[in-house]
Amino acid sequence: MESVREAIKALVSGFATTFIHLFRKPITEQYPEYKRPLPDRARGRIILTRDPDGEERCVACCLCSAVCPVNCISMEGAERPDGRRYASWFRINFARCIYCGFCEEACPTSAIQLTTEFEFLKKDILSFVYEKEDLLVDHQGKDKEYNFYRYSGVLSSYGDKGEHIGERKPVDVKSNMP
Ligand code: SF4
Ligand code: SF4
Mean pLDDT across the stretch 89-110? Answer: 97
Give per-residue pLDDT as tens, 128-141.
Answer: 999 999 999 999 99
Q: Is the pLDDT of residue 116 over 70?
A: yes
- Asked if residue 47 has its Cβ within 6 Å of ligand 2, the reply is no
d(CA 108, CA 143): 12
Residue closest by Cα to atom 2 of ligand 1: 100
Report how far ligand 2's centroid is from the alpha carbon of 148 (Å): 11
In the chain, the domains with their CATH numbers are 46-167 (3.30.70.3270)
Give per-residue pLDDT as tens, 61-97.
Answer: 999 999 999 999 999 999 998 888 999 999 999 999 9
Contact 129, 93 (CB under 8 A): yes
Give per-residue pLDDT as tens, 146-163.
Answer: 999 888 766 667 777 888
The DSSP H or E segment spanning 66 is helix 63-67
pLDDT of the residue at 153: 65
Query: What Cα–Cα distance (Å) separates residue 66 from each residue in 61, 70, 91, 92, 93?
Result: 9, 10, 14, 13, 15
pLDDT of the residue at 161: 80
Least confident of 12-16, 111-115, 118-122: 118-122
Which amino acid is residue 133, in one-letter code? E
Q: What's the whole-model pTM score?
A: 0.78
